[in-house]
Chain A
Amino acid sequence: MPEQLTAEPRPARRPAASPQVDPAAPGSYDGPVAQPISKDDVAHVARLARLALSDDELEQYTSQLAGVLRHAADIEALDIDNVEATAHPFPLVNVLREDVPTPSLDRDEVLAQAPEVDQERFRIPRILGEAP
């Protein structure tokens, strides 16, 4: 039986995932609050995602991501102890296919998309470092 979701925030509950979020500030998007994410954090994430961002862009994304994180903090402040966790918005599990081969692509067509080809393989520049 599904439990009733209670919207009343429990004051003692701190957001778990973003400890930098000011717990006193959920819901207030305007006004000066402690930044839940720093420009360095954004630069780090951008580097991981191989995004080249200008300084202006870093500023812009830092403030936008801060808004997203404050919203997440609001949700985390809710008492959801009695709500069953879901992994996906659709009520579906076990979407499976039979182990039956289907035709693959034509190799020439595939390799025609590669910047360079050598010995029927994708030829790629020198790699720095081992596979993670």
Chain B
Amino acid sequence: MSDDTLSGWEVVVGLEVHCELRTETKLFCGCRNVFGDEPNTNVCPVCLGLPGSLPVLNKQAVEYAIRIGRALHCRVQPSMFHRKNYFYPDMPKDFQISQYDVPVNADGWLELPSGKRVGIVRAHMEEDTGKTTHVGGGGRIHGAAHSLVDYNRAGVPLVEIVSDPDMRSADEARDYVDELRAILVATGASDGKMEEGSLRVDCNVSIRPQGSTALGTRCEIKNMNSLRSLGRAIVYEASRQVEVLSSGGSVVQETRHWDEADGRTHAMRSKEEAFDYRYFPEPDLVSLAPSQEWVRAVEDALPVLPAERRRRVAEAAGVQAGSEPVATVVRLGLDALVMATVAAKADAALALRRLANEVAGQLAESGVHDIDPDAFVRLVRMEHDGELTSAQARTVLKDFVADGGDPKAIARQLGFEAMGSQELAGAVETVISANPKEWERFSCGDDKLVGFFVGKVKAATGGKADLRAATEMLRRRRGA
């Protein structure tokens, strides 16, 4: 977002994220929950809304919802289900079973890699809708001749996570979704695939004068199907609102549709009447009141979550938890390698640097071999101990990450083997004769000069010298 466009204004973003749960079956019936099955093969009287059918809540879906709630530091509370009434062909019952005033999870927070906390208002359970495909009119709803409906997705369990309007930029909103996705995947509750629609993001965007604490009128943006579109949509929408306000107009609270092709948001067709969902308690379901024991058991079984992993890596490598390299290695799941380095008492800070820069870059470009932690630690040691120069170490690392193997063998193949001791001794002698004054001082006990000589040896050998061996040789030579 260019500062010019927004100068004097602050953008305020809140997000609503729907995630599909990875259950075997739907929320209220035993139909399979599978993405990509043949249309209308996973349907039954319950999810088709046939008269007389009755919903029964899926226990595993509740457990996933509790996992999400506790991972987001929410209070898990007794809750109930409501009917949200509306007429639209994606919901054959003409209502969606959702949670209204008492959601299963409330009042939590999520910690961004930067360390900032974003408030979570609620994370409630509801059922997904069927999938409509618009035929004609280029797939857009306007101008479509007719639509086709597949009810396989109708009734698939969802958790909707509503944040506070705590984000202040498109980048922060993307960080939030990225972090939330990582948490969802870590808990096993969802696969977090935006491209398959198992993670769907709507955002509320408003702007206000820099320094103001009041919230401006917001617009809800829908239809972003990647993190990139989310960022673009927020940037566009914020500058659109700046333009409206700067020219003396006022922002109208409305839902706007993101158009990926033209890079704009468009007001959706104006409704004849504001939505009035006439929520009322779902009479066919009883309350959900997870016991403390259940909640505690679910919580105890949660894996270490990204924020804690970042804290551990940062502590191990002696850097700030909010630092970029830490966020990168945790996001890419490379933190176990840092921890392996710590466990082996090798240079964790060096490991972190190599992983966050070279390995992360390589990951972005191409696939990688599973990285063997022991071999990785050996390579870190080789660089730390001066067996390899940092340039050599990076070259070895690249091959090692791409194809696996033993770093020592790779170094040998690349001709990076530390030179033989004869050759090294020759180099040491040359350096000594070329610097007699420094040698004199070193010989008289000025030990700081060992670094000076090692540096000279390194330079003289084009970085091929085993610097630890060179150090030992220099000390022995002094004693002789």
Contact = CB atoms under 8 A, between A and B. Distances in A.
Given A127-B132, A127-B144, A99 B23 contact: yes
A107 B150 CA distance: 11
Interface string A18-38: 000000000000000000000
Given A48-B85, A100-B24, A121-B150, A90 B48 contact: no
Contacts of A126: 144-147
B86 interface: yes
B45 interface: yes
A101 B30 contact: yes
A54 interface: no
B146 A124 contact: yes
B38 A97 contact: no
A120 B39 contact: yes
B85 A110 contact: no
A10 interface: no
A101 B59 contact: no
Contacts of A87: 80, 281, 286-287
Contact of B87 (A50, A90, A101): A50
Contacts of B90: 131
A100 B40 contact: no
Contacts of A131: 88, 90, 129, 132
B265 interface: no
A106 to B, nearest CB: 9
A105 interface: yes
A100 B58 CA distance: 9
Contacts of A88: 80, 281, 283, 286-287
B59 A93 contact: no
A123 B146 contact: yes
Interface string B112-137: 00000000000000000100111100
Nearest to A95: B286
Nearest to A97: B56
Nearest to B64: A99
A87 to B, nearest CB: 4
Contacts of A120: 38-40, 150
Contacts of A97: 30, 56-59
A96 B32 contact: no
B293 interface: no
A96 B148 contact: no
Most B CB contacts (10 A, CB to CB) among A92, A94, A99, A118 go to: A99
A107 B41 contact: yes
B59 A96 contact: yes
Query: How big is chain B's contact interface, by range?
Result: 35 or more
A49 B406 CA distance: 71
A32 to B, nearest CB: 30
A125 interface: yes
A64 to B, nearest CB: 18
Given A93-B287, A94-B286, A95-B285, A118 B80 contact: no
Given A130-B257, A131-B90, A101 B24 contact: yes
Contact of A121 (B39, B42, B80): B39
A132 B48 contact: no
A119 interface: yes
Contacts of A2: none
A101 B276 CA distance: 35
Contacts of A96: 56-59, 62
Interface string B215-248: 0000000100000000000000000000000000
Contacts of B61: 99
A124 B48 CA distance: 15
Most A CB contacts (10 A, CB to CB) among B129, B135, B275 go to: B135
Contacts of A49: 85, 278
Interface string B144-183: 1111111100000000000000000000000000000000
Most A CB contacts (10 A, CB to CB) among B40, B42, B257, B268 go to: B40
Contacts of B85: 48-49
A11 interface: no
B147 A99 contact: no
22 contacts: A49-B85, A87-B281, A94-B286, A94-B289, A96-B62, A98-B59, A99-B24, A99-B61, A101-B24, A101-B30, A101-B31, A102-B25, A102-B29, A102-B30, A103-B30, A104-B43, A107-B40, A118-B135, A120-B150, A122-B89, A127-B141, A131-B90
Interface of A: 44-45, 47-50, 87-88, 90, 92-105, 107, 110-111, 118-132
Given A96-B59, A110-B48, 18 more contacts: A48-B85, A96-B57, A99-B59, A100-B24, A100-B25, A102-B30, A103-B30, A104-B31, A104-B44, A120-B40, A121-B40, A122-B89, A122-B151, A124-B132, A124-B146, A124-B147, A129-B271, A131-B90
| Nearest 3 Cβ contacts at the A-B interface | A102-B30, A99-B60, A121-B148
Interface of B: 23-25, 29-32, 38-45, 48, 56-62, 78, 80, 85-90, 129, 132-135, 141, 144-151, 222, 255, 257, 268-269, 271, 273, 275-278, 281, 283, 285-290
